[in-house]
């Protein structure tokens, strides 16, 4: 009697536990992540592809507004390169990383009474091939 009752309890436990050990179906496809949108940005107050931007000193504050929808999940890296009229490189701040939609930046070391050629490169941290480049000139108007 004791053996029959033990076998019965063992069988009941097996019936309850067995469905939980069932192998999961691999037929359900894992959804692919959405393709990253092409980077798009605006530089409010900056005249792109022109040399008539003015700074009232050796620095110029400006912002970049990312208008890509959606924004890259890992954010972007922004690099600024500047050259004087002779082509010499003007030192700028290091590359800036951000996940924000609007990023404030500064140009520094602008030469007096000369137009500095500025190149701003915005690159997705998720997809390095997703890059936009913006060009403009800035003149430091101080005497």
Q: Residue 89 is encoded by which pair of tokens?
A: 């490189």
Residue 24: per-residue pLDDT: 59
Q: What angle do CA 77, 108, 47 make, to 5 degrees?
A: 75
Local confidence pLDDT in tens for the 143 residues of the chain: 666 776 676 666 667 676 666 665 666 676 666 678 899 999 999 999 999 999 999 999 999 999 988 889 999 999 999 999 999 999 999 999 999 999 999 999 999 999 999 999 999 999 999 999 999 999 998 87
Buried b (16+ CB within 10 A) or exposed e, 104-137: ebebeebbeeebbbbebbbbbeeeeebebebebb
In sign, the C-alpha dihedral spanning 101, 104, 109, 115 is positive
pTM of the shown model: 0.74
Closest residue by Cα to residue 138 from 94, 106, 100: 106
């Amino acid at each position: 009697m004791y053996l029959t009752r033990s076998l019965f309890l063992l069988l009941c436990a097996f019936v309850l536990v067995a469905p939980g050990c069932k192998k999961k179906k691999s037929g359900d496809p894992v959804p692919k992540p959405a393709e990253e949108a092409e980077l798009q940005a605006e530089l409010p107050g900056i005249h792109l592809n022109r040399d008539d931007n003015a700074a009232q000193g050796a620095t110029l504050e400006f912002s970049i507004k990312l208008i890509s929808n959606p924004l890259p999940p890992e954010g972007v890296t922004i690099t600024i390169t500047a050259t004087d009229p002779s082509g010499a490189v003007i030192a700028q701040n290091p590359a800036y990383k951000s996940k924000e939609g609007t990023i404030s930046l500064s140009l520094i070391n602008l030469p007096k009474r000369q137009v500095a050629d500025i190149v701003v490169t915005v690159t997705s941290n998720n997809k390095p091939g997703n890059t936009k480049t913006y060009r403009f000139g800035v003149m430091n108007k101080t005497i």
